Amino acid sequence: MTRADYCIVLFAALLLPYLYITQWTGNEAGTTASIINGNNTTQVSLAHDHTLEIAGALGTSVIKIEGGKIRFVSAPCLGKQCIHSGWLQHAGEFAACLPNRISIALLGEAPRFDSINF
């Protein structure tokens, strides 16, 4: 066993955990949301609580971020279905205000479902 052998062992021992973490494990979801306004997409972090006002096709939609969750709290549409969708907190969930052409979706590396049927 030479000094070079020890170096190789040490290098491999350190590299293995790094490779396992970076290549073989997925990240849990829910730290970023995608907001689509018309054909423009913006990503926002859910790390800090704040409120966003976004001008859409009909008027201003208000989106709230709180505790790692996101939701519509105000919209200029008549049906308010985007507001009724409530908080989004799991990767893959989304809500949309179609009349105002604004949607939000929670992003994540490993959402449980590839698509939602409704």
Binding site for other proteins (CB under 8 A): 1, 5, 8-9, 12-13, 15-16, 19-20, 23-24, 34, 36, 38-39, 41, 77-79, 81, 85-86, 92, 94, 96, 98-99, 101, 103, 105, 112-118
Q: Are 47 and 33 in contact (CB under 8 A)?
A: no
The 3-class secondary structure across 48-105, one letter per residue, is CCEEEEEECCCCEEEEEEECCEEEEEECCCCCCHHHHCCCECCCCCEEEECCCCEEEE
User: Min. distance of Cβ 116 from other proteins in angstroms?
Assistant: 5
Phi-psi region of 34 (alpha: psi -120 to 50; beta: other; left: phi over 0): beta
User: Min. distance of Cβ 30 from other proteins in angstroms?
Assistant: 15
Q: Which is nearer to other proteins, 53 or 118 (CB)?
A: 118
User: Min. distance of Cβ 72 from other proteins in angstroms?
Assistant: 14
**By three-state DSSP, how is residue 109 classified?**
coil
Q: Which is nearer to other proteins, 67 or 118 (CB)?
A: 118
